[in-house]
């Protein structure tokens, strides 16, 4: 009887391999997602809040720190899942040849791909959750809201993880990863309503920023402040982009391994 091309065991076995590597240096790995938002919150909280004061978002007035806290979570998700997908996968694919080794075991390409992708998403979830916990402790994000935001974070982690895998499959040298970083990630990081409401942008730039996936994630992460009017459209847009990026990533990586 022919065996299935994707099994939960196969995906788990690949994911587990990455998790075990992470586990060895978990303290070092957990430091950036905790320290980074604290640094940003301290810097912006004490540095910018006196200058900016409160922000009007979704018809209500909130402190600047309350405004940027959900964005810090989104940025944590973006950076960790994208960079794991891009650099981590590129290294495993081209330097360590981990994918090639895994494909000599009874694992299929789909399982190895999904294992890597889920691992990138897991790192996004770890970063988002730890940042969220810092925000909760700081009193900037309600604990229950954070719990209900986990599915949103997971969707964002899958989306940016897929972007990372697409990058890993498309570049030929590790330095080339900088191209999408500076052309896509940094603009998203700055323009997607993270540090200021997108309503302050010129109309043309606002339209561009509105379509970037981090905007949808950040808006959804602020659901406890104000649910975006077209929240379902944002979710659908993220799901669509996740499918497109994952499909393109498969198309880029598959021919490199299965000739």
Partner 1 sequence: MAEALVAYDLWKQYGDRTVVQGVSFTLNPGEVVGLLGPNGAGKTTTVGMLYGAVLPTRGFVKLGAVQVQSDGRQARAQMGIVTQEDNLDPDFSVLENLLHFAHHYRIRGNAARQRAGELLAQVSLENYAAHQIDELSGGLKRRLVLARALINRPQVVFLDEPTTGLDPDARQEFWKLVTNLKQHGCGVLLTTHYMDEAQRLCDRLLLLQQGQVIDQGTPAELIERTVGQEVAEVEGISEATLQAIANQAHSWCRSFGSGYLLALPATNHQSVWEQLTAAQPDRLTRRRANLEDVFLRLTGSSLA
Q: Which residues bind partner 1 (CB under 8 A)?
A: 2-3, 5, 9-10, 13, 16-17, 20-21, 24, 96-98, 100-108, 257-259
CB of 106 to partner 1, least distance (A): 4
CB of 13 to partner 1, least distance (A): 5
Question: What does DSSP assign to residue 84?
Answer: I
- Measured from the Cβ of residue 120, the count of other Cβ atoms closer than 10 Å reads 29
CB of 108 to partner 1, least distance (A): 6
CB of 170 to partner 1, least distance (A): 21
Q: What are the respective helix, strand and coil percentages of the chain, to the nearest 5?
A: 80, 5, 20
d(Cα 168, Cα 190) in Å, to the nearest integer?
23
Strands 60-63 and 54-57: antiparallel
End-to-end CA distance of the chain: give it in Å, rounded: 25
CB of 54 to partner 1, least distance (A): 48
Query: Rounded to whole angstroms, what are the CA distances from 108 to 10, 11, 89, 180, 252?
Result: 8, 9, 17, 29, 16
Nearest to 131 by CA among 175, 174, 180, 68: 68
For residues 61 and 96, which CB has a smaller minimum distance to partner 1 in the complex?
96
Structure tokens belonging to residue 86:
């891009």
Q: Mind giving me the DSSP string for 206-236?
A: HHHHHHSHHHHHHHHHTTTT---TTHHHHHH
For residues 13 and 49, which CB has a smaller minimum distance to partner 1 in the complex?
13
Rg over alpha carbons for the chain, rounded to the nearest Å, is 19
For residues 89 and 108, which CB has a smaller minimum distance to partner 1 in the complex?
108
CB of 96 to partner 1, least distance (A): 6
For residues 105 and 144, which CB has a smaller minimum distance to partner 1 in the complex?
105
For residues 158 and 250, which CB has a smaller minimum distance to partner 1 in the complex?
250
For residues 56 and 256, which CB has a smaller minimum distance to partner 1 in the complex?
256
Structure tokens belonging to residue 20:
């075990």
d(Cα 124, Cα 119) in Å, to the nearest integer?
9
For residues 91 and 208, which CB has a smaller minimum distance to partner 1 in the complex?
91
CB of 5 to partner 1, least distance (A): 8
């Amino acid at each position: 009887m022919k065996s299935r091309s994707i099994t939960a065991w196969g995906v788990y076995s690949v994911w587990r391999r990455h998790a075990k590597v992470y586990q060895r240096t978990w303290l070092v790995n957990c430091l950036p997602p905790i320290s980074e938002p604290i640094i940003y919150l301290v810097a912006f909280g004490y540095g910018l809040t006196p200058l900016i004061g409160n922000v009007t978002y979704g018809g209500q007035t909130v402190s600047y720190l309350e405004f940027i806290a959900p964005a810090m979570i989104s940025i944590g998700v973006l950076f960790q899942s994208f960079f794991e997908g891009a650099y981590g996968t590129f290294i495993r694919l081209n330097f360590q040849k981990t994918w090639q080794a895994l494909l000599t075991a009874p694992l299929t390409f789909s399982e190895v791909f999904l294992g890597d992708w889920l691992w990138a998403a897991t790192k996004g979830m770890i970063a988002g959750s730890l940042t969220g916990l810092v925000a909760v402790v700081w009193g900037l994000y309600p604990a229950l809201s954070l719990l209900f935001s986990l599915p949103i974070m997971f969707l964002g982690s899958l989306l940016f993880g897929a972007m990372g895998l697409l990058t890993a499959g498309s570049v030929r040298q590790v330095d080339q990863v900088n191209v999408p970083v500076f052309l896509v990630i940094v603009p998203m990081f700055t323009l997607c309503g993270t540090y200021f409401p997108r309503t302050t942008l010129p109309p043309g730039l606002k339209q561009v920023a509105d379509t970037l996936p981090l905007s949808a994630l950040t808006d959804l992460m602020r659901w406890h402040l104000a649910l975006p009017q077209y929240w379902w459209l944002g979710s659908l847009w993220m799901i669509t982009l996740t499918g497109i990026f994952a499909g393109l990533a498969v198309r880029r990586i598959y021919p490199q391994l299965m000739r």
